[in-house]
Structure 1
Amino acid sequence: MKNLTTTLAGSLIAFAASLSAAQAEKLTFYCSAQEDWCQLMARSFEDATGIDVNMTRKSSGETFAQIRAESSNPKGDVWWGGTGDPHLQAAEEGLTMEYVSPMRDQLHDWAISQAESAGNKTIGIYSGALGYGYNSDLLAANSLPEPACWKDLLKPEYKGHVQMANPNSSGTAYTTLASMVQIFGEDDGFKFMKGLHSNINQYTKSGSAPIKAAGRGENTIGIVFMHDAVKQAVSGFPVKVVAPCEGTGYEIGSMSIIDGARNEEEAKKFYDWALSPEAQNLALEVNAFQVPSNKNAETSESAPDMSQIKLIDYDFKKYGSSDERKRLLQKWDEEVSVLPQ
């Protein structure tokens, strides 16, 4: 009986140890890129490591709000993708943790600069320029001129033909708001947003939704990151991509480990893996046309050529700060969104 008890106790201890190990091998993954890319990243990491991934896809603004709401009891481990501004804000608010990956020496300078500006609490994983796309068939059917500049979108003939996301939920739309303020100055930037508002047919939750609607023929012009418009064009939809003549802002899509992550070691493994050229090359499988941060990763020939686009000197530190984001969003809520259309 004594031997049986000892054997049973040993078995229970071994079982408990194996169960504990099994429970440790999991990751809760918050993703703010396009759905098919998020799914591919989750499943590919599972295949590469055997770690079980629970993935949730939401826009950048929504994910930031969720991480903030969960801060007293974090449920997520790593946040990958979406515009860099909310990642910087999360770092400023202490919602994400410092981590220096051994992969850093393979990254472009702009990706490392993103990390350094946040005390190494985030890092750049891709970049992409803001712009818009339009459905050329709908444009012709409505006898509308081809837009080439931001200010073209204010013309009265485009009333009801323009769509963008809500900057409260979408990182793309917040980048648009912050870009207009930087291109035109704050007063004229908000005049632009008010004029644009009168031509908007819908504010979507997701940043890429306006150009998807244009691809389907449900909307004429969508303000998005240019790589999202390229995806629609490459998929065979009659979408033309525009780099606005005045110049434009851009994003540094980012990745952060959530402070207090329950599966911190697994989050670090994902972080390092996601910075590898192999992981970044997965973008090509889902027609994601951003410029990857790893110097050895491949950039699609269809991707917008950043060197040929008039990019502004986007102030990530200022517009990625929590106070500035709150101030601009409140001003947009109070002065733009309430206007009649």
Structure 2
Amino acid sequence: MKKKLLSVLLSVTVLASALSFTACSDKDKNGNTDEKATEGELTVYTALEDEQVSTYLEDFNKKYPDIKVNVVRESTGIITAKLIAEKDNPQADVVWGTAASSMMVLDDQGGLKGYAPEGVERILPEFKSDKDTPTWVGIDAWETAIVVNTEEAEKLNLPEIKSYDDLLDPAFKGHIVMSNPNSSGTGFLTVSAVLQLMGEDEGWEYLDKLDENIAMYTHSGSKPAKMASSGECAVGISFGYAGLSQKEDGAPVEVIFLEEGSGWDLEANALINKDEINPVAYTFLDWAISDSAMALYKENYPIITTNDVGEYEGYEGDPLEQLIENDFSWAASSRDDILKTWMEKYDAKSEAEE
């Protein structure tokens, strides 16, 4: 492995003890309870793509036709801000498929409740909370990749890209699109990786220079890949599978993983800390790491978090080898400062809000 994966370790203190659900509840040492339900209604916040949500929920609805799932879908940044704003009066029951770095921020603030879903022992240690009763559980990982439209690159006579420094070549001025880390999890993991790989001072200097070549910052992590695919830009800083799927669909793109390594994050699930836990939330979280759910996730993000991943379709090698040593604890604690600094420096190039 290029850089040994760092076990995701948190050094946070649980701010409030778990409340009992009812006087007759029976919880085991993992926080599991006998109050799971197979009928009812729950509210799920997610940053998963709309088309993914509908496909995944078909599987859930087949298994639990008497549970109505109300989905609130937004980008990672918006979901994170919403969860933090609602922390003292939570509206969601469950978070599904939202960046682990965001989950850690909420966990630090006492917004998550420990729960060990059925089958959690299948999840590799580096992909879930290290607490005795995990406060979040990862389902899949995604990593920074550069998506190049080969036709546009040839037309513009753009140089080859292998490293982060290559993106600073003046030939790329106005031809690169990247996502805004305030709204996009992909944008945040990319900026976080630069700061970790280069150090904060040098990292911000690098991002200053990169900004000179950026045409626009999008609010979606997959949009730069789609724009490169359609020829709207020559180079999109996106994530691996977004580019690979465009290539599979016949787009004239090349997907490049930079030689220094890729920033990455996990899509994770968590139980929201509320005075009264919705019993169907446990049922949903159990399903959300089931074999059938994992098989669906793997169709969109080949890096899933169980220990039986098998082949990584579309990748030339094992994508785990590409992932940098990621300090999630630092990323979570530094998140606000990173986003504030980024906004002050580069937000003028962000696309207009829809």
Q: Report the TM-score, using the length of structure 2 for normalisation.
A: 0.82
Instruction: Map 1:69-148 to 2 at 5 A.
Output: 69-111=85-127, 114-116=128-130, 120-148=134-162
For structure 1, which runs of at least 5 residues remain unmatched after alignment? 1-21
Residue 87 of structure 1 and its aligned partner are, at CA, apart by 1.3
1:163 lines up with 2:177 in the alignment: yes
Residue 71 of structure 1 and its aligned partner are, at CA, apart by 2.4
Conserved in 2, the CA contact under 8 Å of 1:227 and 1:289?
A: yes
- How far apart, CA to CA, are the structure 1 residues paired with 2:147 and 2:182? 22
* CA offsets 1:116-169 (integer angstroms, 9 cap, x no match): 169721111112322211111111121112211111111111011111111111
Conserved in 1, the CA contact under 8 Å of 2:176 and 2:233?
A: yes
Give the greater-gyration-radius structure (CA). Answer: 1
Aligned match of 2:337: 327
- How far apart, CA to CA, are the structure 2 residues paired with 1:262 and 1:63? 22
SS in 2 for 1:127: strand
Structure ranking higher on relative contact order (CA contacts 8 Å, 6+ apart): 2
SS in 2 for 1:198: helix
Aligned match of 1:49: 64
Kindly provide the amino acid, as one letter, of the partner of residue 60 in structure 1: T
Instruction: Map 1:10-49 to 2 at 5 A.
Output: 25-49=40-64
* CA offsets 1:241-280 (integer angstroms, 9 cap, x no match): 1110122222122111222287622121111111111111
Aligned match of 2:224: 210
1:187/1:118 Cα in 2 relative to 1: closer, same or farther (>3 Å)? farther
1:27/1:261 Cα in 2 relative to 1: closer, same or farther (>3 Å)? farther
1:119/1:225 Cα in 2 relative to 1: closer, same or farther (>3 Å)? farther
Aligned match of 2:302: 290
Kindly provide the amino acid, as one letter, of the partner of residue 330 in structure 2: K
Q: Report the TM-score, using the length of structure 1 for normalisation.
A: 0.85
- How far apart, CA to CA, are the structure 1 residues paired with 2:68 and 2:242? 29
SS in 1 for 2:129: helix
SS in 2 for 1:326: helix
- How far apart, CA to CA, are the structure 2 residues paired with 1:270 and 1:258? 13
Kindly provide the amino acid, as one letter, of the partner of residue 196 in structure 1: L
Q: Number of residue pairs matched?
A: 314
Residue 103 of structure 1 and its aligned partner are, at CA, apart by 1.2
- How far apart, CA to CA, are the structure 2 residues paired with 1:119 and 1:330? 33
Kindly provide the amino acid, as one letter, of the partner of residue 64 in structure 1: T
- How far apart, CA to CA, are the structure 2 residues paired with 1:242 and 1:57? 29
Identity %: 29
Residue 64 of structure 1 and its aligned partner are, at CA, apart by 0.7
Conserved in 1, the CA contact under 8 Å of 2:262 and 2:324?
A: yes
Kindly provide the amino acid, as one letter, of the partner of residue 230 in structure 2: R
Aligned match of 1:317: 329
- How far apart, CA to CA, are the structure 1 residues paired with 2:72 and 2:231? 29
Aligned match of 2:272: 258
Match of 1:235 among 246, 249, 254: 249
- How far apart, CA to CA, are the structure 1 residues paired with 2:250 and 2:233? 16
Residue 91 of structure 1 and its aligned partner are, at CA, apart by 1.1
SS in 2 for 1:291: coil
Kindly provide the amino acid, as one letter, of the partner of residue 235 in structure 1: D
For structure 2, which runs of at least 5 residues remain unmatched after alignment? 1-36
Query: Per residue, is there more helix in 1 or in 2?
Result: 1
* CA offsets 1:198-232 (integer angstroms, 9 cap, x no match): 11111111111111111122121111221221111
1:31/1:261 Cα in 2 relative to 1: closer, same or farther (>3 Å)? farther
Give RMSD over aligned pairs: 2.5
Aligned match of 1:18: none
- How far apart, CA to CA, are the structure 2 residues paired with 1:336 and 1:117? 37
Residue 314 of structure 1 and its aligned partner are, at CA, apart by 0.8
1:273/1:303 Cα in 2 relative to 1: closer, same or farther (>3 Å)? farther
- How far apart, CA to CA, are the structure 2 residues paired with 1:339 and 1:166? 9
